[in-house]
Amino acid sequence: MSQQLLMIEDDERLARMVEEYLGNSGFVIQHAPNALEGLAKLQDPANETAQLIILDLMLPDLDGLEVCRRVRALSGPLGHTPILMLTAKGDPLERVIGLEMGADDYLPKPFEPRELLARIRAILRRRGDGAKPESTSPPTLRFGSLEIDRDARTVSVASQLCELTSYQFDLLVALAERAGRVLTRDQIMEAVRGRELDAFDRSIDVHMGRIRAIIEADPKSPKRILTVRGVGYVFARQQD
At residue 115, what is the residue type? E
Identify whether 240 is part of a domain. no
CA gap 91, 177 in Å, rounded? 34
Give the range of the structural domain holding residue 158, as residue numbers without chain letter: 140-235
Check whether residue 7 and residue 46 sit in a common domain.
yes
Quote the pLDDT of residue 208: 93
Residue ending a domain, choose from 106, 127, 148: 127
Identify whether 133 is part of a domain. no
Listed in sequence order, the residues at least 6 apart from 161 whose beta carbon sits closer than 8 Å to its beta carbon are 154, 155
- pLDDT per residue rounded down to tens, the chain (240 residues): 578 999 999 999 999 999 999 998 999 999 999 999 999 999 998 888 899 999 999 999 999 999 999 999 898 889 989 999 998 765 677 777 777 778 888 888 889 999 999 999 988 887 764 434 444 457 899 999 999 998 888 999 999 999 998 888 989 999 999 999 999 888 887 777 644 444 334 578 889 999 999 999 999 999 999 999 888 999 998 877
Check whether residue 24 and residue 62 sit in a common domain.
yes
Instruction: Kindly list the distances between the CA atom of residue 11 and the CA atoms of 14, 25, 194, 236, in Å, as whole numbers in the listed order.
Output: 5, 21, 27, 46
Check whether residue 200 and residue 95 sit in a common domain.
no
CA gap 240, 232 in Å, rounded? 23
Identify whether 34 is part of a domain. yes
Q: Residue 178 sits in a domain of what CATH number?
A: 1.10.10.10
Our count of domains for the chain comes to 2
**Could you tell me the pTM of the whole model?**
0.62
